[in-house]
Structure 1
């Protein structure tokens, strides 16, 4: 396992807590296919990856919770099967012996409206939004962002968030197909319909949460289905206003790690403020017999992601100059 800065882990040191981690299961009971870029996708095998993940997490016995970073059912799932398929995947997650914290992704929203999806995922957030926070121990806080707060998918057609998103896409993406990046240059390639943005209300909420975490001297892990740093992701997968979100995050020293999914190949970067960004490899793209999930051991000075098979293990040491 590679260390971010070459430090050696002291043997025998117990983590403060541990948790499971997986992203982009995108299960569907359909034949295997390929992504837009030609990458194989194993729709039926992905739920087997999830089943093995839950079994492994339960064998670990010391995991306090698990995080699903979004996209549990694929958009190619036949719509008449969407509800039962989402329930089937949620049922696998519920076999884990601890709480599971879910994020929503674009494929979740292709299948079900928020009104049906959020209760199944046990996400309780105001007005159909899907952002929230939790503290597994007093010294740490997890902040879950709703990357499709401003989005052309998932909300009713006449909803303010939908109208704002459509207006935004019309201004930013001249293509008739708003999922096409043709002609878009550099970071502009993120302005696609399968991405989304974070609205003013959620931004104010995030700022308030980080203020509170700073006062409580908590270390913060931010989770968003859409990546928040270009160094960890392809340009086409980024949150529309990732820069504005990071401007808020960079006002504080409490955020140590940002976790994301959506960009299936995975990635890792360290931004200008020393915050690590780790995008997870997709369970969907595991050939039969392989896996992509992990668990995370959390220490006072680092987190260690222990990945299975196709998920790369990562040690992330907190920047001591940015400590509270």
Structure 2
């Protein structure tokens, strides 16, 4: 860890704001399936305070929103206006906001309505893309609901593939129930999804390019990609396939996600950090859950507010060393 000290005290290369699972709705407070309180009306206040704080810092290059900006309990006739209302709060940030889609977004609006509202660059309704805020870094936003039983038209090939997949993997009539499913099989639930073959191929190409350009990569997805950082019920269906692509390169330093509201952090067998962000929705009135990340050459430093835990994500420099020696 000697290299840690080299960047201590240095100015970060850049920083960015983070928030996840706002899940706003104009409905009374409720509870999750397992009884955790949820504050549907309060969550937009958390977002407002986040935007205010990010703007006050005057240093954040962009904001990443990890999905689920509106809740499934939002009455359908209010869906469009609720999404508009939340997006309007994000737009008060002085800079770009990069969104990803979550299951709750898709309960409320179909992709063709949702993606333009979130300004997600889309090809054929898909919601994956990448951007480079500085030459040294690249951010890759995955679409975890590429193959999904929600969000696509009912007769869409991606819906049909997902429905068939769930029939095979989950024998329960209620496809959001993990009852009887063992261990990692508990992820085969309707509120999760998968990264399709085309997207996997695209990811491989992006990581190849990033390696050639010697860029550090941060992967962002609503759904978590490592069992060590999340409950089994919240994982991407084919997280293992995605991680196989990621692990065939050394450029990915961290995978950030939402979805599992309690948050989590792990370092996988290849030294890649997985940080699942705590949900804004579960902040009791008067508390907050958002943060910002300072980016250095050798680490990401997440500075959390209140219920979002601060975390240091030190890069696996041994892997970089091996890669450079191999060249």
Give the counterpart of 2:38 among 36, 41, 47.
Answer: 41
- Match of 1:193? 190
- Match of 2:227? 230
Report the alpha carbon displacement of residue 5 of structure 1 after superposing the two structures with TM: 9.6
Report the alpha carbon displacement of residue 282 of structure 1 after superposing the two structures with TM: 0.2
Q: 1:6 to 1:193 in 2, by over 3 A?
A: farther
The CA RMSD over aligned residues, in Å, is 1.3
**Where does the alignment leave 5 or more consecutive residues of structure 1 unmatched?**
none
Q: Secondary structure at the match of 2:53?
A: helix
What are the residue-to-residue correspondences of 1:246-265 with 2, within 5 Å?
A: 246-265=243-262
Deviations 1:114-149 (A, max 9, x none): 000000000012100000000000000000000000
- Match of 2:128? 131
Q: Secondary structure at the match of 1:126?
A: coil
Q: 1:5 to 1:41 in 2, by over 3 A?
A: farther
Distance 2:141 2:93 in 1: 20
- Match of 2:314? 317
What are the residue-to-residue correspondences of 1:90-239 with 2, within 5 Å?
A: 90-239=87-236
**Count of aligned pairs between the two proteins:** 321
Q: Secondary structure at the match of 2:199?
A: helix
Give the counterpart of 2:298 among 296, 301, 319.
Answer: 301
Distance 2:213 2:7 in 1: 28
Report the alpha carbon displacement of residue 322 of structure 1 after superposing the two structures with TM: 1.6
Report the alpha carbon displacement of residue 17 of structure 1 after superposing the two structures with TM: 0.3
Q: TM-score, normalised by structure 1?
A: 0.97
Distance 2:152 2:22 in 1: 22
- Match of 1:77? 74
Q: Is the 8 A contact 1:45 1:288 kept in 2?
A: yes
Q: Is the 8 A contact 1:5 1:317 kept in 2?
A: no
Please identify runs of 4+ aligned residues in structure 1 that moved more than 4 A: 4-11
